Amino acid sequence: MRIMLTVLGEQGDRDVVIEAADDATVALVAASLGAPEPLATVVRLPRARAPYGMSEPPARVSTATVGEPELWRNGKTLDPRAPARSVLRDGDKVTLDPDLARATVSEEPGGVAEVRVVGGPAAGTVHRLGLGVHVIGSDPMCAIAVSDPALAPEAATIRVTPDAITVEPIRRGAQTQRLKLKGRWAEEVAEMTARVEAREAARLPAHEQPQLDARPLTDQADWPEHALLACGSSLFTLTAIQPPDAHLAPRPEGGVAYNRPPRLRRPEAGRRFQRPAEP
């Protein structure tokens, strides 16, 4: 049995190759992954050359384990008595840390529609959308975050309802109501505040207005399927969720078998031309 896995840990992810007998269990794989790695050779310096506190020998750390490590896959613990080749597949994400169990979920996210980035620096990214409000922008906190320098931090808002999917631009430049200052220097402080706000607004880059189907998006509008939304230098399109077209079947020796339908065109029927007889 030979399986390639990605092991998630606090210090980072590592790709490992498991080579074991066909009857190896999950407990054996978990014990192998949880075994301590060999440490580097430590050279002790004399007290005169060692930094402060580095001349004492290190304290011994107990290597006794509380119990057998548990192996997590797809957010769930695996039965330690189950054969490894029946529950593990090539490319699976596993972990021994229960806190990282959610990171091993590899199933496709749910949703009712998806927005695809078809142009710009992040072209090829797909975002699944559920019911609710979603924001497009360059801010990492946005639901559809795109690292586009020409994209505003918050460019457009998508509203997904059971009846329709709409998109609208985010209004910018609306100033919040200032508090009325009182006192001797109230007018000077208000004038200075307005000057600073104008200077900061001038420093911000000017972002173009979003366009839907090559038309300026000025108000809330329905987003038709396959219509292009231009924000900054990125292009977005709205499509329905399509089921995966790849057929994967588990193999007895481990891994999965990929069967792709043929993409060859069917041969065209032969054409026969008959010349009519002369009158």
3-class secondary structure per residue, 140-189: CCCCEECCCCCCCCCCEEEEECCCCEEEEECCCCCCCCCCCCCCCCHHHH
- What confidence score (pLDDT) does residue 64 get? 44
Residue 198 maps to a domain: no
Question: Do 88 and 120 fall into the same domain?
Answer: no
The CATH code of the domain that includes 28 is 3.10.20.90
Secondary structure E strands in the chain: 2-9, 12-19, 72-73, 76-77, 92-95, 113-119, 126-129, 132-137, 144-145, 156-160, 165-169, 211-212, 215-216, 221-222, 228-231, 234-239, 247-250, 256-259
Question: What would the two tokens of residue 26 be?
Answer: 């999950």
Question: Do 119 and 230 fall into the same domain?
Answer: yes
Question: Do 51 and 18 fall into the same domain?
Answer: yes
Domain residues for the domain of 38 are 2-56+64-104
Residue 117 maps to a domain: yes
The CATH code of the domain that includes 154 is 2.60.200.20
Tokens 């606090």, residue located: 10
Question: Do 6 and 99 fall into the same domain?
Answer: yes
Q: Is-contact 70 94, C-beta < 8 A?
A: no
- What confidence score (pLDDT) does residue 167 get? 95
Reported as half-sphere exposure (CB side, CA atoms, 13 A), residue 128 has a value of 9
Question: Do 87 and 148 fall into the same domain?
Answer: no
Question: Do 24 and 133 fall into the same domain?
Answer: no
Domains contained in the chain, number: 2
196-226 b/e with 16+ CB inside 10 Å = b? eeeeeeeeeeebeebebeeeebeeeeebeee
- What confidence score (pLDDT) does residue 63 get? 46
Question: Do 94 and 135 fall into the same domain?
Answer: no
Q: Which amino acid is at 130?
A: G
- What confidence score (pLDDT) does residue 257 get? 78
Dihedral sign from CA coordinates of 191, 176, 230, 120: positive
Strand partners, 92: 5
Residues of the chain with pLDDT under 50: 61-65, 174-176, 204
Return d(Cα 167, Cα 184) in angstroms, integer. 48
Among 238, 236, 229, which Cα is nearest to 210's? 229
- What confidence score (pLDDT) does residue 165 get? 95
Q: Is-contact 92 99, C-beta < 8 A?
A: no
- What confidence score (pLDDT) does residue 266 get? 74
Return d(Cα 235, Cα 32) in angstroms, integer. 47
Return d(Cα 157, Cα 223) in angstroms, integer. 11
Residue 184 maps to a domain: no
SS3 (DSSP) at 201: helix
Residue 195 maps to a domain: no
Question: Do 34 and 129 fall into the same domain?
Answer: no
- What confidence score (pLDDT) does residue 62 get? 47
